[in-house]
Amino acid sequence: MKFFGASKISREELAEAIRAMAEEELVFANRLIIERLKLLSQARSTRLLSGFSVDDRVRFQGPDGDVKLG
């Protein structure tokens, strides 16, 4: 069984707590979750960027299909 955070809440307990929350509490929880997801994404990006060095050659394909070199 997986647990979340230091308070050791199981997934089932978390789901039950969410079902019991009022709208205001859900909005607050949503803000906390979004903030945490953004922080994790930023940390992942920082970790990946640390693998690059000055003068590295890079190649990216943009969403439009254009290849960018640098």
> Residue ranges of the domains in the chain?
3-52
Question: What's the confidence (pLDDT) of residue 60?
Answer: 87
Predicted confidence (pLDDT) per residue in 3-54, tens digit: 555 668 899 999 999 999 999 999 999 999 999 999 999 999 999 999 889 9
Question: What's the confidence (pLDDT) of residue 1?
Answer: 43
Question: What's the confidence (pLDDT) of residue 45?
Answer: 94
Report residue 2's pLDDT band, with 50, 70 and 90 as the boundaries: low
Q: What letters, b where the CB count within 10 A reaches 16 and e where it falls short, cover 3-39? A: eeeeeeeeeeeeeeeeeeeeeeeeeeeeeeeeeeeee
* Mean pLDDT of all residues in 49-61: 90
